[in-house]
């Protein structure tokens, strides 16, 4: 039985006791899957499993507070569920986690670029097949094959958790770990290579086109303040309505700092950005810092206390300045 | 606020009420010579300082930010400064990725009796900021540098395209 | 209508430079993987092939603009305190060059509201009158395009002043409005009669590529009839994450907020884009919110475009079918599907 | 050339006087600094204005003085959010901005020759006050006028300085009520809808105008229906969050009706036609 069929079977069994089960289904075209809310048995057959399941369904869990829901997760998504549990933002008794091994998902922006290089538009995608390590997209009658490794999301290239960290129903064989030690993150390496003033210019360049839609925030499973975000509060007045790089970047700093020690690097902020702004780099940098300082990784241990919610009398890695 | 152009820079200090604000007061009462660039904001505890206070201050153009609280184990609220230490260290390491020189921000501990230590901290930090000069804001990046960085970005979603 | 003209592709910069000498010229350029409208710079090649990520909405309706500045004067011993308000409604002469027809047509939806009889909006009117749209007809269409659903099409000239159509080697150029006709007076433009038939064929082909549009004529009544069917709206909005991508990227979404930014003594009253998908949009000071959930808010967004607005404005649908809300939505909420679901459900 | 009319630009006005009505309601009497504009200013009872504290923002309030008394425009402000909190700090001599008149008005022409019943609860008395005083100033145009005004307690009753006059006049019938017994209270005790049923106004040739908190409106409507009032005979006003006040910014609509221009005054019959989104 395929992973997908096995998932469907387990979901059908559990559905009667659940408000809904959140997963993925086919979207408006062959290249896009979209979140699915299974509320009846007929919906179960719409479920998809594979490289186009790019969204992190954990984002919806806090909105179902008090109701028992199921969620289908990839390994990376499961870390968000764990982090939500760590912070007691959802109740373990009210979530049933379905999962299977994940072989990686695509980054649609990369597929778009590949098609563009072949003189085609992602907006004309007609058919997508993922066969082992190859993705083939047919657009405007022409088929273009691309290695999954070249169009996979960055996170997949360095994936440590192809299998869920926590699951109630894990079906099929576990997916193999990414071979070899994960290489250093290319985004961080590029930013590291810049001078400090160049980085200022970098953010000035990218943030300029931000439209302040807050897709980065709303797609983030850890941004649980939702309707009460300080970005839209007048008291305190953290951000003004001026259309300036200062205000736009300041929001990214708010988002990143509020995720310090909590971000599982699912990449939804950047994937959701309609303007292709590389906002994930800020969180990657913070995660590296958190790891260096506190040897901590978010969303892998339900019992762990996030590092900024605890302290040591003598910190191991903080060298205070002497005057 | 009027700034003595070319002489003073805009340095903002966040000082805890119980130790460092007292330390600054001690330095003042003792008539210790101090640079005058620092504008002090008194907060209840270093643990009350949201790192975003500092980030916002710097992003909006302050030339430097100094935070000072009670020495570890001496916090008036027992452990506020322990939490602060973690947050402030994370922030200090975060600033360079934004394009802000981490030397524009420092945090330290000064007790109410340490007037001389306060004098030293303020003097050293102010000199450090003067060595860096006035801060550039993201809005005011030079067109040349902007063009250089923009041309290095080949497009696509990636930082390192 | 003036005769068709023609400009070879390599002569475009010449024309653009001439236009840029007289006004602000905004063209679509690639920036970090997105295509956005920026001031024309000969060093940056415009991108005319695909539709821009963000429409040229900001050319007339900036993301944020000053309505007026305020300044308080302190009371002295002799004089009372003062308050001075200083409005700025002037607009910069602008040419939006290379938008797709849907991007220009969006302003027809704005016009009905901002140029109404009772309260004409001086800021909008100044900017609208100062802006000329040199539009590029679509030679190709995308999966998310649905301009033909809403009474438009890939070569719709409504809302544009000049229409370019890509043909072999260059573009045909047609004046659509009197304002636009004045812009064709440039030596780079030659007679295009020989290219006219080819241009018509391009327009016809892209229209045919869109196929048949479904019948959504009943959408105003259908959506209204489902107003209280919150289960329907829950199902439509389940996956929505309540961000503002759909509204901010929409050429027809015209809602805004007004906020004061500044200090206690001086500052500015700003008008800035707002999104009906945000919880704060209708939140009242008492804490009451008439649209408390994303289901209520999505209902208003779809209802406004496909029911309330057409009911108030002679059946004109407040959507130009550009498909940005579908394409840019982080979770692919598809307004076409919602409208069709509503029409089908109301039929029973 | 004169600039075109700018509907976003407030008139600068000076606060002449303030009245602390209750612990959270404060009344402001303002005049435009531009005397010519003040003299030319016209509005109808029920129309609203945007009162600005530039630097903080603006909010919508009914002009609760009547157009028959133009020494000043009066706004009564309940402290609830950021703008109202700022307004409450202002006092005589301070500057504000006013954008008015906005919105529709009470259908006064339709009310001429008819008996009138006002039912106001709490701050809901403000929109009624403008029409009530307008009618008193044109007393001969209307039939029997009755006012039922209720608040939680005597301390929550706004316009208390005017109540002796209202209760004392012989050409109107004023009933005051509070929710619970209070020391020294000489008027009715009971919830507004119950007192209204006791008063039992006759619906024949009568118009009922009601405004107050949502829960009071709900039960007052029920009471009026019980008394035999037709939907067309009941008039009320709505509140929504507003920004532009001129039907553009998009937040105050209920379906096709924009409360800032088509309202705030609606008959119950009109309200029933609107989608359910109060």
Residue A254 and residue A271 in contact, taking contact as beta carbons nearer than 8 Å: no
Rounded to whole angstroms, how far apart are CA atoms C341 and C333?
Answer: 13
At C2 the pLDDT is 59
SS (H, E, C) C286-330: CCCCCCCCHHHHHHHHHHHHHHHHHHHCCCCCCCCCCCHHHHCCC
Shortest distance between the Cα of A166 and any Cα of chain C, in A, equals 23
Question: pLDDT for D94-114, tens place per residue?
Answer: 999 999 999 999 999 999 999
Give which of D123, D85, D89 is closest to D18, Cα–Cα: D89
b/e per residue C4-21 (b: at least 16 CB within 10 A): bbbbeeebbeebbeebbe
At B1 the pLDDT is 40
Question: pLDDT for D58-74, tens place per residue?
Answer: 999 999 999 999 999 99
Q: Does any CB of chain B come closer than 8 Å to the CB of residue C264?
A: no
Measured CA distances, D160 to A44, A298, D2, D21, D62 (Å): 65, 60, 45, 7, 18
C39: its two tokens? 């001031």
pLDDT tier at D3, thresholds 50, 70, 90:
low
Question: pLDDT for C247-269, tens place per residue?
Answer: 999 999 999 999 999 988 999 99
> Looking at beta carbons, which pairs linking A303-307 to residues 24 or more positions away fall under 8 Å?
A303/A86, A304/A86, A305/A86, A306/A86, A306/A87, A306/A261, A306/A262, A307/A261, A307/B86
pLDDT tier at D278, thresholds 50, 70, 90:
confident
The share of chain D scoring above pLDDT 90, in percent, equals 95
Chains that touch A (3 or more CB pairs under 8 A): B, C, D
Domain harbouring B87, CATH code: 3.40.50.960
Rounded to whole angstroms, how far apart are CA atoms C287 and D273?
Answer: 26
Q: Does any CB of chain D come closer than 8 Å to the CB of residue C221?
A: no
Rounded to whole angstroms, how far apart are CA atoms A257 and A286?
Answer: 8
Q: Which of C147, C243, C333 to mutate to test the interface with A (most CBs of A within 10 A)?
A: C243
Measured CA distances, C270 to A243, C54, C314, D250 (Å): 10, 22, 32, 16
Q: Is the peptide bond before D264 cis (omega within 30 degrees of 0)?
A: yes
The more confidently predicted of residues A65 and C338 is C338
Q: Could you give the angle at which helices A245-258 and B51-59 cross, rounded to 10 degrees?
A: 160
Q: Does any CB of chain A come closer than 8 Å to the CB of residue C243?
A: yes
Give which of D212, D263, D260, D277 is closest to D59, Cα–Cα: D260
User: Which DSSP symbol is given to A106?
Assistant: B
Question: pLDDT for D146-156, tens place per residue?
Answer: 999 999 999 99
Residue D207 and residue D110 in contact, taking contact as beta carbons nearer than 8 Å: yes
Q: Please indicate if the annotation marks D211 as binding a ligand.
A: no
Chains that touch C (3 or more CB pairs under 8 A): A, B, D
The number of domains in chain C is: 1
Strands (E), C215-273: 256-262, 266-273
pLDDT tier at B157, thresholds 50, 70, 90:
very low
The share of chain A scoring above pLDDT 70, in percent, equals 98
Q: Does any CB of chain C come closer than 8 Å to the CB of residue A124?
A: yes
At B70 the pLDDT is 96
Q: Are C285 and D81 an interchain contact pair (Cβ–Cβ within 8 Å)?
A: yes
pLDDT tier at A181, thresholds 50, 70, 90:
low
Q: Give mean pLDDT, residues A246-250.
A: 97
The share of chain B scoring above pLDDT 70, in percent, equals 91
Give which of D187, D195, D193, D118 is closest to D157, Cα–Cα: D187
C 84-113 residues with CB < 8 A to D: 84-85, 87, 89, 113
Question: pLDDT for A18-36, tens place per residue?
Answer: 999 999 999 999 999 999 9
Sign of the Cα pseudo-torsion (C282, C284, C285, C287, in order): negative
Q: Does any CB of chain C come closer than 8 Å to the CB of residue A121?
A: yes
Q: Give mean pLDDT, residues D209-235.
A: 95
The share of chain D scoring above pLDDT 70, in percent, equals 99
Say which residues have a Cβ less than 8 Å from residue C208's Cβ, sequence separation at least 6.
Answer: none
Shortest distance between the Cα of C211 and any Cα of chain B, in A, equals 31
Q: Which helix (H) or strand (E) holds A13?
A: helix A3-14
At A322 the pLDDT is 87
**What's the mean per-residue pLDDT of chain A?**
95
pLDDT tier at A1, thresholds 50, 70, 90:
confident
D 28-87 residues with CB < 8 A to A: 57, 82
pLDDT tier at D118, thresholds 50, 70, 90:
very high
Question: Is B5 among the domain residues?
Answer: no
Q: What is the DSSP code string of D24-74?
A: SEEEEEEEESSHHHHHH----TT-EEEEEETTTEEEEEE--S-TT--S-EE
Q: Are A218 and C326 an interchain contact pair (Cβ–Cβ within 8 Å)?
A: no
Nearest residue of A to residue C335, measured between CA atoms: A28
Q: What is the largest CA-CA distance in chain D?
A: 64
Shortest distance between the Cα of A300 and any Cα of chain C, in A, equals 25
Q: Give mean pLDDT, residues D25-39.
A: 96
Rounded to whole angstroms, how far apart are CA atoms A237 and A16?
Answer: 46
User: Which residues in chain C have their CB less than 8 angstroms from residue B154's CB?
Assistant: none
Q: What's domain D108-237's architecture?
A: 3-Layer(aba) Sandwich (3.40)
Question: Reduced to 3 states, what is the DSSP secondary structure of residue C135?
Answer: strand
Q: Does any CB of chain A come closer than 8 Å to the CB of residue C34?
A: yes
Q: Does any CB of chain D come closer than 8 Å to the CB of residue C28?
A: no
Q: Which helix (H) or strand (E) holds A83?
A: helix A75-86
Q: Are A241 and C270 an interchain contact pair (Cβ–Cβ within 8 Å)?
A: yes
Residue D239 and residue D263 in contact, taking contact as beta carbons nearer than 8 Å: no
Rounded to whole angstroms, how far apart are CA atoms B6 and A192?
Answer: 32
Which residue ranges does chain A devote to CATH 3.10.450? 106-151
Rounded to whole angstroms, how far apart are CA atoms D228 and C289?
Answer: 32
User: Which DSSP symbol is given to B158?
Assistant: -
Q: Are D4 and C122 an interchain contact pair (Cβ–Cβ within 8 Å)?
A: yes
- Tokens 């030596």 locate to C187
Kindly tell me if the per-residue pLDDT of D40 is higher than 60. yes
Question: pLDDT for B99-117, tens place per residue?
Answer: 999 999 999 999 999 999 9
At B2 the pLDDT is 43
Rounded to whole angstroms, how far apart are CA atoms A273 and C178?
Answer: 39
Residue D21 and residue D158 in contact, taking contact as beta carbons nearer than 8 Å: yes
Measured CA distances, A164 to A2, A8, A73, A155, A295 (Å): 17, 17, 7, 15, 21
Q: Are C54 and A209 an interchain contact pair (Cβ–Cβ within 8 Å)?
A: yes
The share of chain C scoring above pLDDT 70, in percent, equals 99
Of the CA atoms within 13 Å of residue A256, those in its CB half-sphere come to: 30
At A20 the pLDDT is 97
Rounded to whole angstroms, how far apart are CA atoms A216 and A231?
Answer: 13
* Neighbour tally for D229: CB within 10 Å: 20
pLDDT tier at C75, thresholds 50, 70, 90:
confident
Chains that touch B (3 or more CB pairs under 8 A): A, C
Kindly tell me if the per-residue pLDDT of B42 is higher than 70. yes
**What's the mean per-residue pLDDT of chain C?**
95
Residue C206 and residue C138 in contact, taking contact as beta carbons nearer than 8 Å: yes
Q: Which candidate from D8, D55, D278 shows the least CB-CB separation from C290?
A: D278
pLDDT tier at B156, thresholds 50, 70, 90:
very low
Q: Are D248 and C113 an interchain contact pair (Cβ–Cβ within 8 Å)?
A: yes
Kindly tell me if the per-residue pLDDT of A179 is higher than 50. yes
Question: pLDDT for C24-58, tens place per residue?
Answer: 999 999 999 899 999 999 999 999 988 899 999 99
A198: its two tokens? 């160049």
Q: Is the peptide bond before D200 cis (omega within 30 degrees of 0)?
A: no
Question: pLDDT for A98-148, tens place per residue?
Answer: 999 999 999 999 999 999 999 999 999 999 999 989 999 999 999 999 999
Taken as a whole, chain B contains a residue count of 161
- Tokens 């006087």 locate to D17
CATH no. for D11-102: 2.40.30.10
Measured CA distances, C209 to C103, C145, C168, D122 (Å): 19, 10, 19, 62
Question: Reduced to 3 states, what is the DSSP secondary structure of residue C114?
Answer: helix
Beta bridge partners of A72: A98
Per-domain boundaries in chain D: 11-102, 108-237
D73: its two tokens? 């425009």
Q: Please indicate if the annotation marks D252 as binding a ligand.
A: yes
Kindly report the CA angle at A271 between A270 and A273, in degrees rounded to 5?
65
Q: Please indicate if the annotation marks D244 as binding a ligand.
A: yes
pLDDT tier at B3, thresholds 50, 70, 90:
very low
Question: pLDDT for B56-80, tens place per residue?
Answer: 999 999 999 999 999 999 999 999 9
Q: Are D253 and C311 an interchain contact pair (Cβ–Cβ within 8 Å)?
A: no
Q: Which helix (H) or strand (E) holds B95?
A: helix B80-98
Residue A148 and residue A51 in contact, taking contact as beta carbons nearer than 8 Å: yes
Of the CA atoms within 13 Å of residue D35, those in its CB half-sphere come to: 0
User: Which residues in chain A have their CB less than 8 angstroms from residue B56's CB?
Assistant: 238, 250, 253
Q: Give mean pLDDT, residues D250-260.
A: 94
Measured CA distances, D82 to A126, A238, D142 (Å): 52, 15, 40
Q: Which of A232, A233, A234 to mutate to test the interface with D (most CBs of D within 10 A)?
A: A234
> Looking at beta carbons, which pairs linking A138-147 to residues 24 or more positions away fall under 8 Å?
A138/A30, A139/A115, A142/A118, A144/A114, A144/A115, A144/A118, A144/A120, A146/A111, A146/A114
At C159 the pLDDT is 95
Kindly tell me if the per-residue pLDDT of C311 is higher than 90. yes
At D4 the pLDDT is 75
Q: Are C255 and D10 an interchain contact pair (Cβ–Cβ within 8 Å)?
A: no
Question: Is B75 among the domain residues?
Answer: yes
At A182 the pLDDT is 63
Nearest residue of D to residue C79, measured between CA atoms: D93
Strands (E), C114-155: 131-136
Say which residues have a Cβ less than 8 Å from residue B106's Cβ, sequence separation at least 6.
Answer: A321, B66, B67, B92, B125, B128
Rounded to whole angstroms, how far apart are CA atoms A22 and A3?
Answer: 16
- Tokens 């040591």 locate to A312
**What's the mean per-residue pLDDT of chain D?**
95
Residue A122 and residue A112 in contact, taking contact as beta carbons nearer than 8 Å: yes
Sign of the Cα pseudo-torsion (A51, A54, A56, A57, in order): negative
Q: Are A318 and B89 an interchain contact pair (Cβ–Cβ within 8 Å)?
A: yes
Task: Provide the domain limits for residue C167.
Answer: 5-347
Residue A69 and residue A21 in contact, taking contact as beta carbons nearer than 8 Å: yes
Question: pLDDT for C137-163, tens place per residue?
Answer: 999 999 999 999 999 999 999 999 999
User: Which residues in chain D have their CB less than 8 angstroms from residue C117's CB?
Assistant: none
SS (H, E, C) A210-233: CCCCCHHHHCCCCCCCHHHCHHHC
Task: Provide the domain limits for residue B26.
Answer: 11-136
Q: Tell me if there are at least 3 CB pairs under 8 Å linking chains A and B.
A: yes
At A307 the pLDDT is 97
Q: Which fold has domain A106-151?
A: Nuclear Transport Factor 2; Chain: A, (3.10.450)
Q: Which of C60, C69, C70, C223 to mutate to test the interface with D (most CBs of D within 10 A)?
A: C70
10 Å CB burial of residue C150 (0-12, 13-18, 19+) is buried
Nearest residue of B to residue C29, measured between CA atoms: B155
10 Å CB burial of residue C300 (0-12, 13-18, 19+) is buried
At B161 the pLDDT is 40
Kindly tell me if the per-residue pLDDT of B4 is higher than 70. no
Q: How far is CA B59 from the centre of its chain?
A: 11
Q: Does any CB of chain D come closer than 8 Å to the CB of residue A314?
A: no
User: What strand order describes the sheet that includes C162-167?
Assistant: C34-39, C24-31, C94-99, C131-136, C162-167, C170-175, C5-8, C190-191
What values do phi and psi take at A233, rounded to 5?
Answer: -95, 145
Question: pLDDT for C261-309, tens place per residue?
Answer: 998 899 999 999 999 999 999 999 889 999 999 999 999 999 999 999 9
Question: pLDDT for A59-89, tens place per residue?
Answer: 999 999 999 999 999 999 999 999 999 999 9
Q: Does any CB of chain D come closer than 8 Å to the CB of residue A234?
A: yes
User: Which residues in chain C have their CB less than 8 angstroms from residue D14's CB?
Assistant: 80
Q: Which of C29, C30, C31, C32 to mutate to test the interface with B (most CBs of B within 10 A)?
A: C32
User: Which residues in chain C have their CB less than 8 angstroms from residue D10's CB?
Assistant: 85
Kindly tell me if the per-residue pLDDT of B6 is higher than 80. no
User: Which residues in chain A have their CB less than 8 angstroms from residue C53's CB?
Assistant: 274-276
At A90 the pLDDT is 97
Shortest distance between the Cα of B17 and any Cα of chain C, in A, equals 26
pLDDT tier at D2, thresholds 50, 70, 90:
low
């Amino acid at each position: 039985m395929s992973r997908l069929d096995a998932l469907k079977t387990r979901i059908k069994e559990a559905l009667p006791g659940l408000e809904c089960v959140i997963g993925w289904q086919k979207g408006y075209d062959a290249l896009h899957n979209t979140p699915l809310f299974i509320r009846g048995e007929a919906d179960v057959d719409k479920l998809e499993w594979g490289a186009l399941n790019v969204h992190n369904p954990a984002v919806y869990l806090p909105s179902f507070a008090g109701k028992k829901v199921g969620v289908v997760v990839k390994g990376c998504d499961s870390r968000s569920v764990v982090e939500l549990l760590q912070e007691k933002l959802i109740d373990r008794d009210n979530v049933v986690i379905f999962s299977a091994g994940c072989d990686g998902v695509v980054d649609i922006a990369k597929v778009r670029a590949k098609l563009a290089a072949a003189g085609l538009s992602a907006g004309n995608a007609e058919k997508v097949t993922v066969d082992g390590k190859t993705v083939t997209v047919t657009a405007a009658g022409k088929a273009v094959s691309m290695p999954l490794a070249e169009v996979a999301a960055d996170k997949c290239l360095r994936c440590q958790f192809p299998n869920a960290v926590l699951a109630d129903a894990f079906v099929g064989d576990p997916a193999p770990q990414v071979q070899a030690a994960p290489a250093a993150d290319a985004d961080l390496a590029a930013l590291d290579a810049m001078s400090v003033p160049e980085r200022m210019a970098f953010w000035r360049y990218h943030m300029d086109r931000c439209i302040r839609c807050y897709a980065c925030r709303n797609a983030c499973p850890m941004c649980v303040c939702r309707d009460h975000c300080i970005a839209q509060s007048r008291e305190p007045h953290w951000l003004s309505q001026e259309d300036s790089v200062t205000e736009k970047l300041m929001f990214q700093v708010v988002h990143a700092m509020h995720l310090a020690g909590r971000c599982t690097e699912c990449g939804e902020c950047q994937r959701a950005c309609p303007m292709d702004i590389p906002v994930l780099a800020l969180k990657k940098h913070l995660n590296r810092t958190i790891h260096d300082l506190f040897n901590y990784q978010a969303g892998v241990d339900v019992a762990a206390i996030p590092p900024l919610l605890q302290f040591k009398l003598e910190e191991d890695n903080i060298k205070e300045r002497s005057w | 606020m009027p700034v003595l152009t070319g002489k003073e820079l805009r340095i903002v200090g966040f000082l805890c009420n119980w130790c460092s604000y007292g330390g600054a007061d001690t330095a003042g009462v003792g008539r210790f010579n101090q640079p005058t660039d620092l504008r002090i904001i008194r907060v209840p505890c270093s643990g009350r300082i949201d790192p975003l206070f500092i980030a916002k201050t710097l992003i909006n153009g302050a030339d430097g930010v100094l935070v000072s609280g009670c020495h570890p184990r001496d916090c008036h609220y027992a452990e506020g400064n322990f939490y602060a230490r973690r947050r402030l260290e994370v922030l200090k390491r975060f600033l360079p990725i934004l394009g802000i020189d981490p030397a524009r921000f420092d945090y330290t501990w000064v007790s109410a009796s340490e007037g001389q230590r306060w004098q030293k901290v303020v003097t050293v930090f102010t000199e450090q900021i003067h060595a860096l000069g006035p801060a550039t804001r993201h809005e005011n990046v030079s067109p040349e540098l902007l063009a250089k960085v923009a041309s290095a970005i080949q497009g696509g979603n990636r930082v390192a395209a | 209508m003036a005769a068709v003209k023609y400009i070879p592709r390599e002569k475009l910069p010449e024309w653009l430079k001439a236009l840029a000498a007289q006004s602000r010229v905004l063209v679509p350029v690639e920036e970090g993987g997105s295509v956005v409208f920026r001031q024309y710079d000969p060093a940056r090649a415009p991108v005319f092939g695909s539709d821009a990520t963000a429409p040229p909405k900001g050319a007339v309706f900036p993301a944020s603009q000053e309505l007026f500045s305020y300044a308080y004067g302190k009371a002295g011993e002799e004089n009372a305190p003062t308050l001075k308000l200083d409005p700025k409604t002037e607009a910069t002469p602008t040419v939006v060059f290379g938008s797709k027809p849907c991007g220009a047509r969006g302003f027809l939806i704005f016009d009905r509201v901002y140029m109404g009889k009772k309260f004409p909006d001086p800021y909008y009117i100044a900017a609208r009158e100062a802006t000329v749209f040199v539009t590029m007809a679509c030679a190709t269409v995308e999966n998310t395009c649905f301009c033909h659903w809403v009474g438009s099409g890939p070569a719709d000239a409504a809302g544009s002043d000049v229409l370019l159509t890509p043909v072999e080697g260059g573009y045909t150029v047609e004046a659509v409005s009197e304002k636009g006709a004045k812009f064709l007076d440039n030596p780079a433009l030659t007679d295009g009669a020989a290219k006219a038939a080819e241009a018509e064929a391009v327009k016809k082909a892209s229209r045919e590529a869109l196929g048949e549009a479904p019948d959504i004529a009943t959408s105003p009544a259908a959506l209204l009839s489902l107003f209280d069917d919150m289960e329907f709206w829950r199902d439509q909005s389940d996956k929505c994450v309540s961000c503002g991508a759909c509204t901010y990227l929409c050429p027809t979404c015209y809602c805004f907020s007004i906020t004061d930014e500044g200090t206690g003594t001086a500052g500015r009253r700003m008008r800035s884009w707002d999104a009906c998908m945000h919880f704060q949009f209708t939140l009242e000071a008492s804490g009451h919110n008439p649209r408390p959930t994303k289901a209520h808010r999505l209902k208003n967004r779809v209802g406004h475009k496909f029911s309330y607005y057409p009911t108030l404005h002679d059946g004109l649908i407040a959507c130009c079918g550009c498909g940005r809300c579908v394409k840019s939505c982080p979770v692919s909420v598809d307004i076409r599907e919602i409208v069709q679901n509503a029409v089908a459900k109301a039929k029973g | 050339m004169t600039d075109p009319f700018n509907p976003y630009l407030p008139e600068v006005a000076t606060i002449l006087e303030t009245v602390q009505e209750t612990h959270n309601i404060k009344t402001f009497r303002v005049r435009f600094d531009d005397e010519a504009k003040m003299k030319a200013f016209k509005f109808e009872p029920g129309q609203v204005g945007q009162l600005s504290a530039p630097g903080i923002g603006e909010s919508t309030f009914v002009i609760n003085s009547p157009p028959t008394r133009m020494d000043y425009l009066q706004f009564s402000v309940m402290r609830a959010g950021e703008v109202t909190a700022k307004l409450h700090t202002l006092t005589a001599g301070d500057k504000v901005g006013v954008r008015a008149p906005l919105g529709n008005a009470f259908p006064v022409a339709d009310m001429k020759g008819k008996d009138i019943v006002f039912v106001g609860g709490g701050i809901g008395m403000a929109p009624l006050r403008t029409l009530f005083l307008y009618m008193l100033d044109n007393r001969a145009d209307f039939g029997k006028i009755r006012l039922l005004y209720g608040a939680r307690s005597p301390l929550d009753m706004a316009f208390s300085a005017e109540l002796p006059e209202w209760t004392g006049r012989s050409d109107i019938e004023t009933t005051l009520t509070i929710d619970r017994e209070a020391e020294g209270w000489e008027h009715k005790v009971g919830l507004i809808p119950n007192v209204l049923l006791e008063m039992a106004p006759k619906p024949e040739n009568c118009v009922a105008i009601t405004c107050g908190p949502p829960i009071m409106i709900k039960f007052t409507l029920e009471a009026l229906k019980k008394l035999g009032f037709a939907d067309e005979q009941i008039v009320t006003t709505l509140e929504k969050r507003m920004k532009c006040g001129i039907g553009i910014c998009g937040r105050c609509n209920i379906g096709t009706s924009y409360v800032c221009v088509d309202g705030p005054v609606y008959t119950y019959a009109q309200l029933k036609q609107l989608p359910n989104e109060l």
